[in-house]
Structure 1
Amino acid sequence: MTGTTRSLAPLAGAWKQAFHLATDGSGSYGKGLNLARNGAVAQIHTQPGRISAAIAAKKATHQAAIHLPELTAAHWDTLAARLADDPQAVADLVANRIPATIADSGHAGGISIVPSADSITFSCSCPTGRAHRVCDHSAALGHAVAERLTTTPSALLGARGMTARALAAHVRDLVDGADPGPLPADTNGTVRAAQLYSLAAHRPPQDSPDLDLDTVSPLTYSDAPLSGPGAQDMARMTADAAARARALLAGTAAAPHDELADILRILASPDGADYLAAAQRATDIPDATLRAMMIGYRHGGPAGAHTTLAPIPATPDVLEKARESVHASRAARLGTITIEGNAITDTTAGVQIRPGPDGRWYPFTLWRADEWRPAPGACGDPAEAFRAARRARAARPLRR
């Protein structure tokens, strides 16, 4: 578990409590948990006052939403002022991390990011949801939001009326040109490099030393000195290095990490889209393919990215056994399972699985025409990977 996950655990816990109370003892709370665990919740969308997602359940897809009140401008000003007075919070925000302070209203100027239970309401396209009562689908969305909050509060911040990026900019404006104080240390007494660079960027410049120029030999250069990386690039480099170090220490680093996988790792980061044009020039891979590979990397690391670019060659025997496993696992055996180009495809259902370089099968869904998009759920069992593709396909409409 990373430091970010630990620091945001109180926020996720507070949301779970408020969301549970808002369901008022409905049996949908437990049913929604099962749906969320089975991957029924598609991409979560956030807008002021609303969190929504498509939920796949019982061969149908419903549009569920959770409604919550926005914070006022005065509330955000109070929160930003409190964060600006906290050197640790300033360091985290400048390094594109959300500070743990935001999870505790007692340390955030009395402002609670999590709304009260009685202010949370539900809606859905199903009959129960149309009556504005909690249903299995809106409950599944609530559980998915809780899982999301263990790593990032962006969904909740956006629904309350301000994005994480806008909040960071608000705090930067308050501390611009001010000395944020002494460099904070973690609980174990260490100082993160990202804090060092981000805090130094906000310290006022030091007065120039009083030099006797008559006794100092002038410096000459044959070439102008190279400029160093900018503060934003330095913050991104530091955050990326820290994330890779944590993965190595936890034994979860994905392999293989070749040059192309490293490019996709950067693109899949929160600010990676800024480098998409440069990546396209460096790799000669079309923009649309790179975007699909970004999704593949997020779902399956380097192996997911490479499998999105092209299936890994497999022997006819391996492909045939996988096809038979998929065919036997289907309850309603409609459509034809075919083997084409090292991929196993159900054209009727619009789903496909591909073998990856790590021995797992990767699910894909038909996006538009003959374009396939990666889906979550890579697995060593081809039948299970095929079921993951079917779940993703139910939640993802076909683009024309």
Structure 2
Amino acid sequence: MSGYWTGGGAGSGGGDGELTFAALPPVRGGAFTRTWWGRAWLKALEDTALDGQQVKEGRRHARAGAVGAVSVRPGRITAVVQGRDGTAHRSDVLVRVLADEEWDRLLDLAAGSAGHIAALLDHEVPPHLVEDAAAVGVELLPGIGDLEPECGCEAWDHCPHTTALCHQVARLLDEDPFVLLLMRGRGQRAVVDALQARSAARAAGLAPAEGPAGAADGGEAGPAGVSAAEAYALCGILPPLPAVPVPVAEPGEPPSLDTETDPDPGVEPAALEFLAADAAARAHRLLVELLAGRAGEAAEPSVGQDAVRLAAGGPPSWVAARLAARTGRSRAGLDAAVRAWRWGGAPALAVLDGEWVPDGEALARAGTRLAAAWDEGEAPKLARSGACWTAGDAGVQLRLGEDGRWWPYRRVGDEWRPAGPADRDPAAAFTAAETAEAG
């Protein structure tokens, strides 16, 4: 998440600054927000909107990346949102700004607890702070009716555009709850400065009875110092992060398990050495991807998929035989699965195993793609069965994946074997199968 300040008084006590966040990428599956305060924000939206269908449509807009850059300032959030028909609408959501006396009560509560300060500096909202603030009449998180919509589509209630904006802001709140404080009237710098001033005043105003143990009852005073909580609250600017380390070129070698001591029954050192080497190689690859900024969340493989992945690593033949048995495949079937995995991982394996059957809509899209792939009179004769289109005379088969890509297969003997990576163009996939080596 990246934001930048604009305006003259950003972060000042009056809170007349503005923070603008670049448009966020689309969301692919999973929960829209991961923090409890992000969920509380969306709960306020759901409770406020009169039409739940508008909330659902707005969530779809936000997932699709239809929300532009989001501007946050005291009392208002703003963004341009693309409607389903492509029309852009300026959308605003208004939030009540806290009065100065409310801010005083809130900041006094936060400064009175080192845990509250530490959590806020770590960009978290401690539940007890919200509860304590509510107890003294300060509602930090919005409730029913607190999110007031204004949209260029002229809807009188929350519309898909304002609900999409609220969903996008929930993602921003996940990363930085100071966004919520800015909406309530004060930016991060103003809040941190106020907390530091209050903490310093508390530290300087300690009564003798509150000093080191022994001083209040006439005993010998301990050494003067500052409490760890106050030191943390007044830490100021953190030191810079260390430089990103440069990964080694190759993963390390796992230890050899070939010792003079006999292994316990059922333990096979060679298999453990193979698994250790595989784990080291995967860890090295993940580290390289992470440091290069390419790391992403990968789905956890099933037992069968992981067995094929291990087989693709070239294990000893007896290990490959056990992996084949574990997946219920023959050795030839495992070899075909390994070929598929090397061409495209789990999606290619799912196509090999025929895990997806296209419905009428998918078949119609496939027919359109096939008709447009070749010039008139040049298209091969293809017979369809399920998700497979076969040109028997050419020994070529195209298999349609659930994502709309075409996987080339070539007949070897009585078997169909994966012949290359997937392609959006069925003609290109067909050519790849024709030119693939028979082995």
Rg comparison, structure with higher value: 2
State the TM-score bracket (shorter-chain normalisation). Answer: 0.3 to 0.5
Normalising by the residue count of structure 2, what TM-score does the alignment of the two structures yield?
Answer: 0.40
Asked which structure has the greater RCO (Cα within 8 Å, sep 6+), the reply is 1
